[in-house]
Amino acid sequence: MPQDTFTIRLIARELDSALRGGRINKVNQPEKEELSLIIYTGKRTVKLVINANASDCGVYFTEGGRENPLVAPNFCMLLRKHLTGAEILGVETPGFERILILRLRCFSDFSATERELRCEIMGKYSNIILTEHGSVLGALKTTMLDENCKRAILPGVKYVLPSPQDKVNPSNKEALFSLLDPPPEGDLSRFLFAHVAGLAPCTAEQIVAAYHGGSLAEHVYGYIFSDEISPRVTERDGCVTDFFARAGEGIPFPTLSEAQSYFYTKKRARKRFESGKRRLVAAINTVKKKHEKRLAQILDKKRECAAAEENRIKGELITANLYALARGMKSCELVNFYDEAGGTMKIALDEALSPSRNAQNYFKKYRKQKRTLEILAPQERETAEELEYCLTLLASAESATSEEDLRSLEEELLAEGLLKAPSERKRTEEIPFREFEKDGFRILAGRNNLQNDRLVRRSAPQDIWLHTQGYHSCHVVIETGGREVPDEVLLYAAQLCIRYSDAKGGGKTPVDYCPVKNVKKPPKSKAGAVLYTDFRTILADPT
């Protein structure tokens, strides 16, 4: 994000043209480091966002809105007191600084005075400061007076600009020409970034890319102070990567403000999506680890009971040879008539017990271990089913591509009790299936296990149902309307099925398909679990 002086100067010019003469109607602070001003420009009402967050700092118009807190923060209350009803006299930048100044004429019951809202767009040092006659009235981020404080920002102190960088101010043509003519050797973009104030690395690269010989200083000065703009936002793999005031590639926008609004809206949405996805995956993994631990405990107990049959045999061998045994023996070696080879078995005995009591002890161990195995069998089956269900949830989370997908998955986790419900939940509309179209055929795909069940229930018997073979995937249904489904449509639906699955190996993957009438849900089974018969298989490549 090139929030450098070059870009901020163009933003100031754009905001000045749009806001001069407007009035501030409302001041809100929806986030800790973000303000929104509702401004009537004389023609329409606009919302101006001022963000001082390290990663999202900027000043731009937006049409979207965020929910405001029930209790306004102190700085917001201060701005409401001083700026409500204020007239905007202009927007400017002081010198060649990364600061936007909103000059305001503020009115009270008995007087009018001029104040300035200074928006310092400087990455992690960004701040919003209200000043009057050069003194600070209040700031979003204040600093304390101590020995290490180079610049005090407190109510009542004199406002001073940030310390200047040890770089050439490009508005000083004499210094600029002395620095750049003749052009230095080596990497020009790195040299410009290191020695010319107010340029981000990407801006320096653009300046060098537009240079085609002649006076480098003249070119740099002309590029920086030209009013030409061509706002664009660059994207990669569906995610925004940057915005530029003057660039040749990317999505074009009529104004810098619209480019910024698009960029930050998409960036926040992506950040919100990734955060939500991590939260749901963490919740699923917590339940999955619990079932894995439970299954491991069951298997350990099964291994402990693996000698049940051996104990029964020992008891029977002792019983069959009571005549040859006597109290006080520590062990015995008896012919094992269960061994086809006719071998013997060595059996440990309790010398304090009679042979018959030793036999009873072995039978007692056998019965206890047998009961344990009988109890463990349904527990193992149930735990394995729960673990398999968790894997389907993880597959749904990994294949999620939108916030609707996450909301759908969260709905399932709440319904299954795997996620703690918030104290107050707002009722929302039912989230729709993923929907596609191919050659006139409507294709639907479930977003989670609950939707998979709902999709099968609502589909007509002659519709075609698809699912990856050997992998967790969403359920896909082709609505046929009684028509024959062409191979191209079937292949497209199979590719969708693989796309929303955990088939990560790449290459061709088998996908089973059959009419919906052949798909049945077993009684008392987990969401998304089905049985299907009379199916066929198609090999498809998701690419």
More confident residue, 177 or 64: 177
Checking if the pLDDT of 535 tops 90, the result is: yes
pLDDT at 255: 92
pLDDT tens per residue across span 166-201: 899 898 889 988 898 888 888 899 999 999 998 989
How confident is the model at residue 64, as a pLDDT?
76
Q: Over 90: is that where the pLDDT of 83 sits?
A: yes
| Across 281-285, 342-346, 462-466, least confident range | 342-346
| DSSP per-residue string spanning 358-394 | HHHHHHHHHHHHHHHHHHHHHHHHHHHHHHHHHHHHH
Return the number of other C-beta atoms located less than 10 Å from residue 38's C-beta. 15
Closest by CA position to 446, among listed 500, 378, 523 = 500
pLDDT of residue 503: 81
pLDDT digits 0-9 by tens, 256-289: 999 999 999 888 889 889 999 999 999 999 999 9
Percent of the chain with pLDDT over 70: 97
What's residue 510's pLDDT?
Answer: 92
| pLDDT higher than threshold 70 for residue 324 | yes
Least confident of 197-201, 260-264, 418-422, 493-497: 418-422
Residues with Cβ within 8 Å of residue 451, at least 6 apart in sequence: 408, 431, 433, 474
Rounded distance between C-alpha atoms, residue 131 and residue 147, angstroms: 24
Q: Quickly list DSSP for 188-256.
A: HHHHHHHHBTT--HHHHHHHHHT--SS-HHHHHHHHHH----B-EEEEETTEEEEEESB-SSSEE-SSH
Q: What's the pLDDT score for residue 150?
A: 72
Average pLDDT, the chain: 89
Which among 418, 453, 115 is positioned nearest to 279, based on CA atoms? 418
Mean pLDDT of 213-236: 89
pLDDT of residue 238: 80
pLDDT in tens, 28-45: 999 999 999 999 998 899
Look at residue 404 in the predicted model and tell me its pLDDT.
87
Share of the chain above pLDDT 90, in %: 55
**pLDDT at residue 239 in the model:** 87
In this predicted structure, the answer to whether residue 152 has a pLDDT above a threshold of 60 is: yes
Spatial separation of the C-alpha atoms in residues 77 and 304, rounded to whole Å: 69
pLDDT band at 505 (very low <50, low <70, confident <90, very high): low
Q: In what order do the strands lie in the sheet with 476-479?
A: 434-438, 441-445, 476-479, 464-468, 509-515, 536-540
Q: What is the pLDDT of residue 480?
A: 92
HEC secondary structure over 61-78: EECCCCCCCCCCCHHHHH
Position 65 scores a pLDDT of: 73
Exposed/middle/buried for 144, CB within 10 Å: 0-12, 13-18, 19+? exposed
Distance CA 449, CA 454 (A): 9
* pLDDT-derived band at 136, boundaries 50, 70, 90: very high
423 — pLDDT class (breaks 50, 70, 90):
low
pLDDT at 307: 85
Report CA-CA distances (Å) from 29 to 40, 75, 116, 257, 380.
18, 9, 18, 20, 54
- The pLDDT of residue 148 is 60
Please report the pLDDT score of residue 419 as a whole number: 83
Q: Is 80 exceeded by the pLDDT of residue 215?
A: yes
pLDDT band at 295 (very low <50, low <70, confident <90, very high): very high
Average pLDDT for residues 410-425, to the nearest whole number? 77
Residue range 333-341: mean pLDDT, rounded: 87
- Using the predicted structure, report yes or no on whether residue 424 has a pLDDT greater than 60: no
Q: What is the pLDDT of residue 402?
A: 86
Domains (range + CATH), the chain: 5-139 (2.30.310.10), 305-389 (no CATH), 432-540 (no CATH)
What is the pLDDT averaged over residues 505-530?
88
Mean pLDDT of 499-508: 78
